Amino acid sequence: MSSGRERRALGSEATSRGAGAFPSGPDPEDGDPAHDSVLLRRLESRDRLGRIAETAGVRRVDVVAWRDLDDAEAGGSELHAHEIMSRWSDAGIDVRLWTSRVDGAAREIRRNGYTVNRRAGRYAVFPRTAVAGYRKRIGTGDGLVEIWNGMPFFSPLWSRCPRIVFLHHVHAEMWNMVLSPNLARLGYTLEHRVAPPFYRRSQIVTLSDSARDDLVRRLHFSPERITVVPPGIDARFSPGGVRDGDPLVVAVGRLVPVKRFDEFVEAMVALKEIHPRLRAMIVGEGYERPDLESRIAESDAADWFSLPGRLTDADLVDVYRRAWVVASTSVREGWGMTLTEAAACGTPSVATRIAGHLDAVVDGESGLLVSSLPELVEAAGSILGDPMLRRRLSQGALRRADQMTWERTAEVALQTLAAQVIRRR
């Protein structure tokens, strides 16, 4: 959840997406071995998804989510749902997403084979979804997926079909970052005390082992009821191009408090004293842009520190390939998709040692994890100053990225839902 002013944030993780049969950026030319390999993998996955659905009798699935991919604040959670729903619908499943309205957009659209219903306001979507559930308009198909993003929909109270829950991470201190003290206390209480008892018998799907451990420790869920499956990486994120001649450190994300980009600016200013040719960049938009611009100006860094805003898919790939290091100073993540997108381009990362990052980055192999601002400066500086270390971490980043595909993510998620359907039967 977020404050009213956060509504103005423009998500950068969810850049422009294609509307074809498969959710990806521009493919290579036909006949390219890489293109053929990706297409074959998709077709094989579609067949496996179809068999899973047919065996379990999964023909129609409702998905309830706070935001849609077209929302100005769409980020990793919305992209994750989109990639899965696109593949499920391509396998013949009737997928219907129920979510909040998008300013100036149609109330109902078709995207990549699934239907998007946007008939409730930003906060009214929660009670209206529950009412629709009680009236048997939602949650009466073969399965339901609830995306619990801070505020839950309480689907165990109204859904009449087998369910799973996508829960990427605990919000914890994020409430205090974006809400007034009273609302923050309410959000924290709902997440930590009120909602969990209703979900004790639900099957949870999360992104990483460390996120699972956090759910067990903070919300007291049973580890046996949590399935871990990492997010995939689109095929367009791949090695290529040429690194910038001067050291370039990049961060990617919505310009909101949880990302702590103010600390990234401070770290880069300190790193500039060690590496005078350093350049830095934050890709993304959000309501914290004016504050970040002021920090950069006050640090006399405007000539080497850029805020290019939201980039197209192709431009984002180009930035990943040019960067020497991709960094994340975030305080909360279910995974850290920008880190593994960069890894697929052969770019190592420096990231905070938090749940999610602990799995997205293999410390010492695909990047370095840090616990403080001075450690971030030291770690980034060591990668910039040591070509052998940079090369070793780059190779490790590629190996890490090779393990993740959206096809596997979609298949494990559907297997988890199918198991609930079979068990209910």
- For residue 184, pLDDT over 90 is answered with no
Residues 176 and 81 in one domain: yes
Residues 218 and 281 in one domain: no
Phi first, then psi: what are they for 20, rounded to 5°? Answer: -85, -165
Structural domain includes residue 314: yes
Residues 308 and 179 in one domain: no
Residues 56 and 191 in one domain: yes
Confidence of residue 27 (pLDDT cuts 50, 70, 90): very low
Nearest alpha-carbon partner for 166 in 233, 66, 235: 66
Look at the chain and report how many structural domains it folds into: 2
Q: What percent of the chain has pLDDT over 90?
A: 79
Give the number of other CB atoms < 10 A from CB of residue 13: 21
What is the pLDDT at residue 173?
78
Residue 21 and residue 401: Cα distance in Å, rounded? 24
Residues 85 and 145 in one domain: yes
Joined together, the tokens standing for residue 285 give 């938009």
Check: CB of residue 301 under 8 Å from CB of residue 270: no
Structural domain includes residue 181: yes
Residues 263 and 218 in one domain: no
- Amino acid residing at 23: P
- For residue 271, pLDDT over 80 is answered with yes
Beta-strand pair 325-328/248-252: parallel
What is the pLDDT at residue 33?
64
Site of tokens 């990668």: 383
What is the pLDDT at residue 32?
64
Structural domain includes residue 243: no
Structural domain includes residue 200: yes
Which segments within 161-202 are labelled E, that is strand?
A: 163-166
What is the pLDDT at residue 306?
97
Structural domain includes residue 239: no
- For residue 91, pLDDT over 50 is answered with yes
Q: pLDDT tens digit string along 289-301? A: 999 999 999 999 9
Q: At 31, which CATH number?
A: 3.40.50.2000
26 or 380, higher pLDDT: 380
Listed range (121-125, 164-168, 344-348) with the worst mean pLDDT: 121-125
Residues 201 and 271 in one domain: no
Structural domain includes residue 242: no
Residues 330 and 396 in one domain: yes
Average pLDDT over residues 266-277: 97
Residue 60 and residue 92: Cα distance in Å, rounded? 9
What is the pLDDT at residue 231?
96
What is the pLDDT at residue 31?
54
What is the pLDDT at residue 116?
97
- For residue 4, pLDDT over 50 is answered with no
Check: CB of residue 360 under 8 Å from CB of residue 335: yes
The boundaries of the domain holding residue 271 are 248-401
Residue 67 and residue 215: Cα distance in Å, rounded? 22
Structural domain includes residue 114: yes
Residues 85 and 132 in one domain: yes
Average pLDDT over residues 297-313: 95
Residues 73 and 205 in one domain: yes
Structural domain includes residue 386: yes
Q: pLDDT tens digit string along 374-406? A: 999 999 999 999 999 999 999 999 999 998 999
Residue 203 and residue 166: Cα distance in Å, rounded? 9
Residues 324 and 265 in one domain: yes
Residues 389 and 417 in one domain: no
What is the pLDDT at residue 196?
96
State the burial class of residue 377 (Cβ atoms within 10 Å of its Cβ: 0-12, 13-18, 19+): buried
Residue 64 and residue 120: Cα distance in Å, rounded? 12
**Dihedral of the alpha carbons of 405, 409, 411, 412, in degrees to the nearest 10:** 130
Check: CB of residue 258 under 8 Å from CB of residue 330: yes
- For residue 12, pLDDT over 90 is answered with no
Joined together, the tokens standing for residue 28 give 């290579």
Which segments within 141-271 are labelled E, that is strand?
A: 143-147, 163-166, 203-206, 226-228, 248-252
Q: pLDDT tens digit string along 128-154? A: 999 999 999 999 999 999 999 989 999
Query: In angstroms, how far is CA 408 from the centroid of its own chain?
Result: 16
When the pLDDT of each residue in the chain is averaged and rounded to a whole number, the result is 90
Q: Report the run of H or E that residue 306 belongs to, with start and end.
A: strand 305-309
